[in-house]
Amino acid sequence: MTSTVPALGTRTAEGSALQAVLLDMDGTLVDTEGFWWDVEVEVFASLGHTLDDSWRHVVVGGPMSRSAGFLIEATGADITLAELSVLLNDGFEERIGRSLPLMPGAARLLAELSAHEIPTALVSASHRRVIDRVLASLGPQHFYLTVAGDEVPRTKPHPDPYLAAAAGLGVDPARCAVVEDTVTGVAAAEAAGCHVVAVPSVAPISPAARRTVVGSLEDVNLTFLRGLMTRMR
């Protein structure tokens, strides 16, 4: 876990109960969920296996240990989890080196949060080596803190990453807004007690208590996020 500034202590945005915004990365800020699947298909093809497209919904949004482990078991590929993780991370880094498209509304939302000095954290199941590569394009100045999947005891769908981010910022998870694109990420944020904005990427997500579903980050701004704290009490 890294931070670009010291922990903040409990801090509240003026006129709002919102204390911080915690953002997922793949499929939420950057259009890379498809990249992971493409790399998985390519790596397993090199091992002599064809992935069933229906498995994409199983592995999306999960930690590499779970998704890679599932694919090894499903295909019977003769490779260890550690070996596969290296191949997948290498392939993904090569892919984002060619192109890293942002999700619609991502740049505008990050700029708005920065302009209003809203404590913001990037919370991803991706490994640190991948996050640091993506940050170069997203702009590390937008984040007070970043949490990688290989830096917490348990990653998504467990609450650990979001609890770590809230603790690092010195804020109450119940007064944080989380933006996520997968069921796995939503489960992690809700288990941590956060308010959730779901922007589904690959698989649908249903509205629920303390969860608002929107079609795009274009629908999300600071006024909207502050309103979550009052609408979902």
Q: What is the mean pLDDT of residues 158-177?
A: 97
- What pLDDT, on a 0 to 100 scale, did the predictor assign at position 58? 79
- What pLDDT, on a 0 to 100 scale, did the predictor assign at position 33? 73
- What pLDDT, on a 0 to 100 scale, did the predictor assign at position 10? 37
Average pLDDT over the chain reads: 89
Extract the runs of DSSP E, i.e. beta strands, from 125-210. Answer: 145-147, 176-180, 195-198
- What pLDDT, on a 0 to 100 scale, did the predictor assign at position 57? 78
- What pLDDT, on a 0 to 100 scale, did the predictor assign at position 188? 97
- Whether residue 160 is predicted with pLDDT greater than 90 in this model: the reply is yes
> Do strands 20-23 and 145-147 pair parallel, antiparallel, or not at all (unpaired)?
unpaired
Give the pLDDT confidence of 114-139 residue by residue, as tens digits. Answer: 999 999 999 999 889 889 989 988 99
Give the pLDDT confidence of 42-80 residue by residue, as tens digits. Answer: 999 999 999 999 888 777 766 778 888 999 999 999 999
Contact 190, 211 (CB under 8 A): yes
- Whether residue 206 is predicted with pLDDT greater than 50 in this model: the reply is yes
Q: What is the mean pLDDT of residues 193-215?
A: 93
> Of 195, 193, 196, 19, which is closest to residue 119 (Cα–Cα)?
19
The tokens of 84 are what?
Answer: 């596969």
Contact 156, 187 (CB under 8 A): yes
